[in-house]
Amino acid sequence: MIDASPINRHRRRVESLRRVRSWAPVFGGVELRRLEGFDLAVVDAVAGVDGVTSTSPAEVRELQERGVLVLAYLSLGTVEEWRHYASSVPSEWTLGPVPGWEGELYVDARRRGWRQLILAEARSLGRAGFDGLLLDNLDVGEEFRETQAGLVELVQGLRAEAPALLLVPQNGLAVAESLPIDAIAHEDVFWRFEHGHGYRRSPREETAVLLAGLRALRDRGLPVFTLDYTEPGSPGAHEAIARSLAEGFCPTVSVLELDRLPHATPGVVK
């Protein structure tokens, strides 16, 4: 039987998540204390090949003491060659390179070894004091439909393994309805970065498909977070914020590298 304490902690975190009105995904280049003005922060705390992480438990606690929910980034659908566990991922687990992202490979979530590796990472991040996990690259299930059942099994395993943690997938609408999640985030709903073309408005047809899926999850009661990419100060930033808010979502706009504070959030466009 699951201890009531993790369940209660999860319930409190869900209540806080539903109150979030501003959020910031920042993966390096910013002192974490600068995130204290946001309700929700997403940071990268998975160690590199040198075993070092740029995020300390003390910094996480400091943000939490200031009322910020803090999620740790964790990719479920890809492996990056600079991660400390990359050498433990044999080639037969992978499905090919991620276009536009050098040194990153799609991973087959049907592989039991990969699921065990991710569960171990989740346990480590939970011990470090994070409120939850941002589960990235679930759209591997759209590129490789045969992996969808493995992704669902992996997220179900995370819920069983870490019942106190918030689970928020980024992308992955193909499997979202089957996942035990607390919210969903999605990139590129209104504006995006395209390699070779730069920042541009997302194609109307793709936006329509994404909105249909996100509205269904919103109507199910899940908070929806959007992450769009534009040049700082561009009209696209205003547009992405306004359109997301009109849908009842929680928006943020940044640059593709996510190496600085967002330049557009509700009420603020730089």
The pLDDT tens digits of the residues spanning 101-145 come to 999 999 999 999 999 999 999 999 999 999 999 999 999 999 999
Cα(121)–Cα(85) distance, rounded to whole angstroms?
9
**For residue 1, is pLDDT > 70?**
no
Residue 200 has pLDDT above 60, yes or no: yes
8 Å CB contact between 9 and 132: no
Q: Are the beta carbons of 174 and 145 closer than 8 angstroms?
A: yes
Secondary structure, 3-state, the chain: CCCHHHHHHHHHHHHHHHCCCCEEECCCCCCHHHHHHCCEEEECCCCECCCCCCCCHHHHHHHHHCCCEEEEEEECCEEECCECCHHHCCHHHEEEECCCCCCEEEECCCCHHHHHHHHHHHHHHHHCCCCEEEEECCCHHHHCHHHHHHHHHHHHHHHHHCCCCEEEEECCHHHHCCCCCCCEEEECCCEEEECCCEEEECCHHHHHHHHHHHHHHHHCCCCEEEEEECCCCCHHHHHHHHHHHHCCCEEEEECCCCCCCCCEECCEEC
Indicate the range of 21-30, 86-95, 243-252 predicted with least confidence: 21-30
Mean pLDDT across the stretch 51-57? 76
Neighbours of 185 (CB within 10 A): 26
Q: What is the pLDDT of residue 3?
A: 54
Q: Looking at domain 4-269, which CATH architecture does it have?
A: Alpha-Beta Barrel (3.20)
- Percent of the chain at pLDDT exceeding 70: 97
pLDDT-derived band at 55 (thresholds 50, 70, 90) equals confident
* pLDDT for residue 219 is more than 90: yes
% of the chain with per-residue pLDDT over 90: 86
Say what the pTM is: 0.95
Bridge partner residues of 193 (DSSP) = 199
Query: What integer is the mean pLDDT of 199-214?
Result: 98
**pLDDT of 70 strictly over 50:** yes
- Token readout for 107 is 């991973």
Q: How many CA atoms lie within 13 A of 103 on its CB side?
A: 6
Q: Residue 164 has what DSSP assignment?
A: T
Task: Check pLDDT > 90 for residue 46.
Answer: no
Query: Cα-flanking dihedrals φ and ψ of residue 186, to 5°?
Result: -145, 135
Average pLDDT of the segment spanning 220-246: 96
Q: How many residues does the chain have?
A: 270
By C-alpha distance, which of 118, 129, 122, 119 is closest to 69?
129
- Residue bearing the bigger pLDDT, 29 or 9: 9
For residues 152-159, average pLDDT = 98
| pLDDT at residue 52, as a whole number | 63
Question: Residue 6's Cα: distance from chain center in Å?
Answer: 22
- The string of pLDDT tens digits covering residues 85-104 is 999 999 999 999 999 899 99
Please give the pLDDT value at position 5: 87
Confidence of residue 264 (pLDDT cuts 50, 70, 90): very high
Residue 188: pLDDT band with limits 50, 70, 90: very high
Q: Which of 22-36, 79-93, 195-209 has the lowest mean pLDDT?
A: 22-36
